[in-house]
Amino acid sequence: MTVGDANLEPFYPDLVGLGVESALDQGALLWREGDPGDSVVLLLSGMLEVVNEANEGEEVVLRTLEPGAVVGELATDGQGRSATVRACAPCRILRIPAAEFRGLLRRRPEVLEALYWLQVDRVRSLTRQVTRTHQRAITDPLTRLYNFGFFRQRLEIEVERARETGDPVSLVLFDIDHFKKYNDTYGHEEGNVVLVTVAQILKGVGRRGDILARYGGEEFVALLYGASEEEALHFGESVRKGVEAHAFKPATPDGGPPRHVTISAGCASFPHHAEADEDLIRSADVNLYRAKESGRNRVLGMA
C-alpha cells in the first residue's frame, strides 16, 4: 500500500512479530470513540470502517480501511480513541500493544515517516469529503445556486457586517413570470430547463462574492454586498434582459418555434430602505409585487 512517498509493506514483518492475530465478525466493534489507546491494529483481511457520531446520534462513516491499513497509531500517546472503528466485513487483524509499537518507531524511524505520509493522505481525503458534504448541504441540487437556508445565514451576517462598517447591502428578488402556466403547458422537465438557465444567467451577471440563491420555486435572490440601490437595479436589469433574450428550444425538433420567458424583480438596500435583514427581504418583496402588478418583465426599486 503506497501512501505519499512511503510504502508500509516492507515493515509488515516487523509488525507481525510484535502482535497477536485475532478475528472480528461483521458488525463487531474494534473500539469505541474515547476508549484507551492501548494498541495498534494491522488489518490483515476484510474491511473496517471509521465512524463518528454526529448530531442526535446519527453516525457518519469517515472512511473505510482495506487490508494493509494500520489504524490506531495516533492514540498510542495515552489519549483516547478519536473515532469508533467497526468491522464492515469479517476481518482478520493483528493487535500490537502500544508500548511495542512505540519501541518499533524508535528503532525504525522510517516506519514513522511512512505513517506520517499515511496521515497526510487521510487528512487530504477527509478534507475533500467534508468539502463535498458541506457543498451539498448549502446548494440547491437543481440549479447549483446556494439554497434558501444558506442565503438567510449569510444575509444576517452581511447586514451585521454592513452595520459595523457603514457599507451598503442590496437585495434583488426575482420571480419568473407566468411560470406555472409554462410548466403546465410544456411539462416539468421543460420548466426545470428554464430554472437552470435562469440560474446560469444569474451567475453570468453576478460578481465574485455575490450570494446567488434559489429562494424557492421559481424565485431567486441576489445578495450584493457593497452595492447601492442603483447598482442593484443595474444588476437586476442585466438579468432581466438576459432572460428575455434567451430562446428556449423545444425538447423535440418538431416542437415548434423557440420559447421565451420573462422575469420580474424587486430591489432594496440596507440601510436606506431597511434597518434589519428581515426588513430588507420585506422591502425587496414589496417591490417585486409592484413589478408584477405593473405589467411584469421589469425591475423596480423603492418608489
Q: Which domains does the chain have, with CATH numbers?
A: 2-134 (2.60.120.10), 148-300 (3.30.70.270)
Q: What is the pLDDT of residue 193?
A: 94
Q: What is the pLDDT of residue 135?
A: 74
Which H or E run contains 64?
A: strand 59-65
189 in active site: no
Secondary structure class of 93 (helix, strand, coil): strand
- Distance CA(115)–CA(277), nearest Å, equals 50
- Distance CA(196)–CA(144), nearest Å, equals 8
Tens digit of pLDDT at every position of the chain (303 positions): 333 334 567 777 888 888 899 999 999 999 988 888 888 898 899 999 988 876 556 777 888 888 888 888 766 666 788 889 999 999 999 999 988 888 888 888 887 777 777 777 767 776 776 667 667 788 999 999 999 999 999 999 999 999 999 999 999 999 999 999 999 999 999 999 999 999 999 999 998 889 999 999 999 999 999 999 999 999 999 999 999 999 988 766 666 788 999 999 999 999 988 889 999 999 999 999 999 999 999 999 986
Amino acid identity at 71: V
Catalytic residue among 110, 218, 219, 244: 218
DSSP lists the bridge partners of residue 36 as 80
- Distance CA(97)–CA(7), nearest Å, equals 22
CB neighbours of residue 301 within 10 Å? 23
Query: Is residue 225 a contact partner of residue 207, using CB atoms and an 8 Å limit?
Result: no
- Distance CA(6)–CA(9), nearest Å, equals 9
- Distance CA(269)–CA(275), nearest Å, equals 9
The grid coordinates of residue 62 equal 469517515
- Distance CA(3)–CA(122), nearest Å, equals 9
Q: What is the pLDDT of residue 63?
A: 82
